[in-house]
Amino acid sequence: MRRPKRISAAALAIIFLLLASRYLFSLLATPPDQSQTSKLNNNNKNENKRKADSRIVRHSPDKLLDYSSVDLIPWKHKDDFASFPRITYFNGHRGCNENMHGVMTRLKLNFNVLNPRKITRYGMRHVDGQTLINFGYIATLCNASDVIIIADTLPDARGILLSLVDPDESKRCKSNIVVELTNRFNWIVDAQKDYNELMLQLVENPPENLYWTANNPFEEVYFKMRVGKAPPFKLLRSLGVWDVDPFDNSAGITSVASKGKFGRVKIPDQINSLTIIRDETRNNQHPKVELLFRLYGIYDKVVRLPKHYGGPSILYRYKGLIEFPYQVSVMKFYENIAHGVPQVLPTPRLLHAIVKDAKLHHYFSGWIDKLEETAIYVANPEKHAAMQMKGDFLKKEVWEDAPRLRGIKRLDKPYRAAWAELCDFYRKEFEPFVYYFDSFDELKQMMAVPFEAFDYKNVRKKGPQFYEQIRNESMATWKDLFNVMGYGKLLDKK
Ligand SMILES: *[C@@H]1O[C@H](CO)[C@@H](O)[C@H](O)[C@H]1NC(C)=O
Ligand SMILES: *[C@@H]1O[C@H](CO)[C@@H](O)[C@H](O)[C@H]1NC(C)=O
């Protein structure tokens, strides 16, 4: 279709005006001396060239994108919060940002976010990290930060970590560095050997300014299995916060269940149905777990919510949320307990059968492999080493000819998940706040239970109470960390 020329010219003019006014506005809004952006020197030509190159060579092994400036973005800045220490949250995950906002709100500290997704693709290589050091990016970042908290994807911080072992001491990052693992430490790293050697160096000669935390217990044992040694991790669970509720005061988050209402959001209806969040991925190569709902004739009997469903205050209206874990640990799990949402999960046995026998729900397949391997390692490191030598852990899953219908009959195969305690969805400490089903018949029975009778564990009330304790423990650990880093007096003043 062709549009009249005059309209497109007008549209161009409007876009130009918008861009120009945004630019002018940003100049007015940010006086140069207060700008959060630290420009690096002598880079413009190189940078343009780099960008041009990356357009042409689309599959270049180079992971770096734009590192011409260190862009620190204030996150929900408050004038009455302290801006010292200067905290940089090195993170590209929205849920982690929300969690850090919860932590910093309680400490009354402002923080800036630096999004690694703008700097690098996943799986940063050694040379890329070294480039960031040589180019002065790491020096500028560290000079602008008293504290750097690295969240979510550790390999994104390879440059920072590499600087810590640089023979040239002047190149080492002097900021206090807190690693906050919410994911495997080696997420999408190709040359694992190189990377693991760096990790081992950091463990054996621990830099004084480096602190390790993880939000779930799997990360530490997995690290130890891959690297051989692990640093002293502090378990630092997320606060289970959600942005919907306003932060009225330092007491923190409005607790949905204990107050019986949703902060300023209208009191919801009770909906006598279980709900599930739709799998909206387009990839149709792998059959999805939804197929089972069709086969058991319950597809239309659960409410299917879109990916952006509105958070726990919406889920709370329903009898419960059915979830098929797709990761070892997800922030939503804690958030839902904290807000009193009853969660309904397949038992580890059924989950294993769905993933490995029926070959549905491929998302969890690799994680079952890693969980099983780690469980062997925890129980018997020698046996693990021997199996590794034999290549037992290298088997590749074949998905192409998944025996879909034949597999369904095998959903009752016995299986003992030795890894249950490594995975928060199935850990004993969370069991009182979660519902499990071991077959689809059992799920059907649960669906028939009316709203009032459903929550026999009283998750709606006890979940938030339990989580308040976890939240308190996490805040105590954060305060302890700031103390050790030398900012204790500052926090006490408040
Ligand atoms: C370090 O930061 C200070 C301001 O905090 C600035 O004056 C100085 O130029 C920076 N140095 C480098 C090497 O970036
Ligand atoms: C959590 O900390 C708050 C504030 O210090 C306190 O009032 C509350 O009793 C604590 N709750 C639990 C369950 O420890």
Lowest mean pLDDT among 197-201, 212-216, 392-396, 460-464: 392-396
Which residue, by CA, sits nearest to atom 1 of ligand 1?
Answer: 143
- Determine whether the shortest distance from the Cβ of 145 to ligand 1 is under 6 A: no
By alpha-carbon position, which residue is closest to atom 13 of ligand 2?
Answer: 469
**Protein residue whose Cα sits closest to atom 11 of ligand 1:** 143
> Is the pLDDT reported for residue 253 higher than 50?
no
Contact 435/457 with Cβ under 8 angstroms? yes
**Is the shortest distance between the CB of 69 and ligand 1 below 6 Å?**
no
The whole model's pTM is what?
Answer: 0.83
Alpha carbon of 143 to ligand 1 centroid (Å): 6
Mean pLDDT for 53-71 is 70
Phi, psi at 355, each rounded to 5°: -80, -50
Q: H or E stretch including 463? A: helix 459-482
**Residues linked to residue 178 through DSSP beta bridges, in sequence order:** 149, 211
Alpha carbon distance 96, 86 (integer Å): 18
Q: Where are the alpha helices (DSSP H) in 205-253?
A: 218-227
Atom number of ligand 1 nearest to Cα 140: 14
Task: Name every residue whose Cβ is closer than 8 Å to that of residue 173 and which is 6 or more positions away in sequence.
Answer: 138, 141, 142, 148, 160, 163, 164, 209
SS3 of 322, please?
A: strand
Amino acid at 286: H
How far is Cα 175 from Cα 155, in angstroms, rounded to an integer? 18
Model confidence at 260: pLDDT above 60: no
The vertex-429 CA angle with 427 and 430, nearest 5°, equals 70
Tell me which residues have their CB closer than 6 angstroms to ligand 2: 468-469, 472
Report phi then psi at 303, rounded to 5: -85, 125
Indicate which residue's Cα is closest to atom 11 of ligand 2: 469
Please state the atom number of ligand 2 nearest to the C-alpha of residue 471.
1
Distance 468 CA to ligand 2 centre (A): 7
Q: What pLDDT does residue 246 have? A: 36
Cα 130 to ligand 2 centre (Å) = 45
Q: pLDDT class for 307, splitting at 50, 70, 90?
A: confident
Q: What's the 365 CA to ligand 2 centre distance in angstroms? A: 39
Residue 140 beta carbon below 6 angstroms from any ligand 1 atom? yes
**Which distant-in-sequence residues (6+ apart) come within 8 Å of 362 by Cβ?**
286, 355, 397, 399
Q: Identify the burial level of 54 via C-beta atoms within 10 angstroms of its C-beta, where 0-12 means exposed, 13-18 middle and 19 or more buried.
A: middle
Nearest protein Cα to ligand 1, atom 5: 144
Which tens digits make up the pLDDT trace of 408-467?
667 999 999 999 999 999 999 999 999 999 999 999 999 999 999 999 999 999 999 999
CA distance 320 to 271: 9
Cα–Cα distance, 153 to 366 (Å, whole number): 18
Question: Nearest bound ligand to CA 84?
Answer: 1
Say yes or no to pLDDT of 485 above 90: yes
Q: Which of 69, 143, 163 to mutate to test the pocket of ligand 1 (most atoms within 8 A of CB)?
A: 143
What is the number of the ligand closest to the CA of 249? 2
- If one compares 59 and 199, the residue with the highest pLDDT of the two is 199
The mean pLDDT value for 254-282 works out to 64
Atom of ligand 2 nearest to the CA of 465: 13
Token duo for residue 215:
């939000």
Ligand 2 pocket: which of 237, 255, 468, 469 to mutate (most atoms within 8 A of CB): 468
CA dihedral 39, 42, 44, 50 (to 10 degrees): -110
Q: Are 235 and 217 in contact (CB under 8 A)?
A: yes
Task: Report the separation in Å between the CA atom of 141 and the middle of ligand 1, taken as the mean of its atom positions.
Answer: 10
**Pairwise pLDDT comparison (150 vs 7), residue with the higher score:** 150
Q: Please tell me the predicted confidence (pLDDT) of residue 284.
A: 63
